[in-house]
Structure 1
């Protein structure tokens, strides 16, 4: 049975301040509509690429999205920042309307898009449970029947009669998730707000969502950067990239496609005019590369040499560089920094930072760097996500080549005593 269907849905946003310079656009749209013609602004606009300034005042957050979701499916929606995941959930939740296309749903929808979604800050937790239930179309009798279960799951029983404006963000998300998951809606939509809760509560939420799909046959749409959680919970996947649907299929294949499509260049070299290099008025990057310490190929035994060359335009500061290495499951492997200049003694000019990741530290897999430049470890001068990527190849152990679990593949010197 079909739970949800999206047909050619697109969402366009106009950049800039709300209400500024839009009257002429509204009149133009009205004039075209009167004459039975298409909205002229649907023909323009650019993909939502956050790394470039762009030339258009219009941006397509989503463009021509089509998919069907069956009742009882747990669907993971994945993609990089800016791919359109949260926008898609807002459209499906009817928080905002699509610019073009139609969405068909079969059943009531419960959404948890951000901390405290649908909560009134002046009302108590108890009142908000009933308010949320009423918004979802539940009767007071239905809500009362589930109330004790909701409060017990959320763990905020002591504060249930306290106005929610006094709740911490963790308490907010606990109660909001408990309401959304326990009230009897046919479709549950959850954005990555679970990151607010602690590890135990996240595990509890995933267990509840698992019960909702497998035990109760309800449909879940789940956005997360946690590939482990997505893999455990979801059976179907949707991959978005800069507003377009890149892939849909079973969850494991979708994650593999995500990793393949996310692979970035293993090096960046710029030899032209420094003003045209990657960066901003503070920092320009001339080179960032990863290479094997030994041999021609990066593998578990080769180690990795990292080299960064950049131009600094900020004198007399404590200049720091931060390297964050992540796996394509979005697991942070390490977050380390260096001080090319300390004690406010930076100079304008070229700096080079190099270091080695020793052999055996990284297991086989795909990795990428996030790079940040800062002042006094508090002010961000320039940062770039998903910059340089590389793959660590596997090696033979004995007569076998297995992909072993874990992030690291350390080499230990074993002391063995035999009979």
Structure 2
């Protein structure tokens, strides 16, 4: 049975236009006279999707999907894709411009730090207020109170006004209230990024328990692809306000990463446009095969990262720090150049970092490069300098051709004694 049904939902915002500043009384009177006509023209332009107008912004366009009772749906997309707008509409914080939504049951939302809290009330009083808003009786809230306070970990401050809470404390209490007050639908935005690792793990476990053991429905928005993959059987991706894909989570995440990591294998700049500062400037950074220059990489290729940079000062002890990230956001390793760092003169310098074959598993990766002085002072960091994909190929020596788990796949000695 569908507990959430979204049909043709769109959300339009009218952007404020900066009017020409009047310098004289006549110009001011002219602006006043023209403003009703200008407003009428803007209102007429809001009627259709296809019409382009600088005062119209469609945050969502024609969104359609259904969620069954007990499902956990992940919602992913780049910043500005429309994820938060969709959740605000589902939480009935804002109305859609067009379309309709059917939701069966009570909805508890945690969209941003402190959502639904009254700053002057204590944590305990806010628990009762939120429960009342959800339609619960005082007896029902009393039965959950100790569990909510214990899960949140803010029992020492539960009778302190919420305005004195840190952002992490607000998130802890907010999630605990939303998850324990028996909502049929739980809506969680990226607020869990505020909490520490232990609390995030605790929250993910609670969401899994709420969906699998209690049969409640969860909508989960996150940039943490591993969390979405672990928690959500199905996912929805948004792109520029439109629904791009609604499918199994693995398919949706793979499609999303392919669109994000289009393969920027090389960056090169002139001296005038080079990123950097008064100490260093990057001239180029490229990842390529050690044998040839083809742009496609496999797990069986030796790879090398070549970096050129200008040093703007004389006699600096310099080393480079390469950060390798997975497509899902985790920093996999930090590699630094030779130690002790060499003392370099002003001018153009060149470095090479080699990745042996079978070190990295198939998947999407990105590289950031940092230039460091005296092993302690970061002079400049080139973030997300390169992005690339490593593909697997047909394995003649194995009958199983599935995806190997993990990010690394080194060829280590591993034998059976006979």
TM-score by length of 2: 0.76
Say if 2:362 is the partner of 1:354: no
Specify the alignment match of 1:39 in structure 2.
46
Specify the alignment match of 1:51 in structure 2.
none
Specify the alignment match of 1:289 in structure 2.
286
- Return the alpha-carbon distance in structure 1 between the equivalents of residues 153 and 200 of structure 2: 13
Say if 2:2 is the partner of 1:5: no
1:321–1:373: 8 Å Cα contact kept in structure 2?
yes
Say if 2:129 is the partner of 1:144: no
- Return the alpha-carbon distance in structure 2 between the equivalents of residues 306 and 16 of structure 1: 47
Structure 2 vs 1, CA of residues 335 and 417 (structure 1 numbering), >3 Å: closer, same or farther? closer
> How far is the alpha carbon of 1:394 from its aligned partner?
5.2
Structure 2 vs 1, CA of residues 245 and 337 (structure 1 numbering), >3 Å: closer, same or farther? farther
> How far is the alpha carbon of 1:96 from its aligned partner?
3.5
Instruction: Describe how 1:173-192 pairs up with structure 2 within 5 A.
Output: 173-192=171-190
Specify the alignment match of 1:333 in structure 2.
332
Q: Note the residue ranges of structure 1 that are not aligned, 5 or more in a row.
A: 46-55
> How far is the alpha carbon of 1:221 from its aligned partner?
0.7
2:10–2:59: 8 Å Cα contact kept in structure 1?
no
2:315–2:345: 8 Å Cα contact kept in structure 1?
yes
> How far is the alpha carbon of 1:363 from its aligned partner?
1.9
- Return the alpha-carbon distance in structure 1 between the equivalents of residues 63 and 37 of structure 2: 27
Specify the alignment match of 2:159 in structure 1.
161
> How far is the alpha carbon of 1:117 from its aligned partner?
1.8
- Return the alpha-carbon distance in structure 2 between the equivalents of residues 114 and 123 of structure 1: 18
> How far is the alpha carbon of 1:188 from its aligned partner?
1.0
- Return the alpha-carbon distance in structure 2 between the equivalents of residues 120 and 299 of structure 1: 55
Say if 2:15 is the partner of 1:14: yes
Structure 2 vs 1, CA of residues 264 and 374 (structure 1 numbering), >3 Å: closer, same or farther? farther
Cα deviations by residue, 1:114-157 (Å, 9 ceiling, x for unpaired): 22222233322101111222333333333223212212222322
Specify the alignment match of 2:410 in structure 1.
410
1:108–1:185: 8 Å Cα contact kept in structure 2?
yes
- Return the alpha-carbon distance in structure 1 between the equivalents of residues 111 and 330 of structure 2: 23
Structure 2 vs 1, CA of residues 153 and 235 (structure 1 numbering), >3 Å: closer, same or farther? same
- Return the alpha-carbon distance in structure 2 between the equivalents of residues 139 and 130 of structure 1: 9
- Return the alpha-carbon distance in structure 2 between the equivalents of residues 397 and 309 of structure 1: 39
Specify the alignment match of 1:78 in structure 2.
76
1:310–1:351: 8 Å Cα contact kept in structure 2?
yes
Specify the alignment match of 1:115 in structure 2.
113
- Return the alpha-carbon distance in structure 1 between the equivalents of residues 315 and 79 of structure 2: 34
> How far is the alpha carbon of 1:356 from its aligned partner?
1.9
Structure 2 vs 1, CA of residues 292 and 153 (structure 1 numbering), >3 Å: closer, same or farther? same
Structure 2 vs 1, CA of residues 211 and 291 (structure 1 numbering), >3 Å: closer, same or farther? same
- Return the alpha-carbon distance in structure 1 between the equivalents of residues 277 and 125 of structure 2: 51
Specify the alignment match of 2:25 in structure 1.
none
> How far is the alpha carbon of 1:246 from its aligned partner?
1.0
Specify the alignment match of 2:204 in structure 1.
206
Structure 2 vs 1, CA of residues 232 and 388 (structure 1 numbering), >3 Å: closer, same or farther? closer
2:368–2:384: 8 Å Cα contact kept in structure 1?
yes
Structure 2 vs 1, CA of residues 318 and 168 (structure 1 numbering), >3 Å: closer, same or farther? farther
What's the RMSD between the two structures over aligned residues?
4.3
> How far is the alpha carbon of 1:200 from its aligned partner?
3.4
- Return the alpha-carbon distance in structure 2 between the equivalents of residues 170 and 350 of structure 1: 46
> How far is the alpha carbon of 1:92 from its aligned partner?
2.2
> How far is the alpha carbon of 1:213 from its aligned partner?
2.0
TM-score by length of 1: 0.76
Q: Please tell me whether Structure 1 or Structure 2 has the larger radius of gyration of its CA atoms.
A: 2
Q: Note the residue ranges of structure 2 that are not aligned, 5 or more in a row.
A: 23-30
Please give the secondary structure, in 2, of the residue aligned with 1:302. Answer: coil
Specify the alignment match of 2:245 in structure 1.
247
Please give the secondary structure, in 2, of the residue aligned with 1:152. Answer: helix
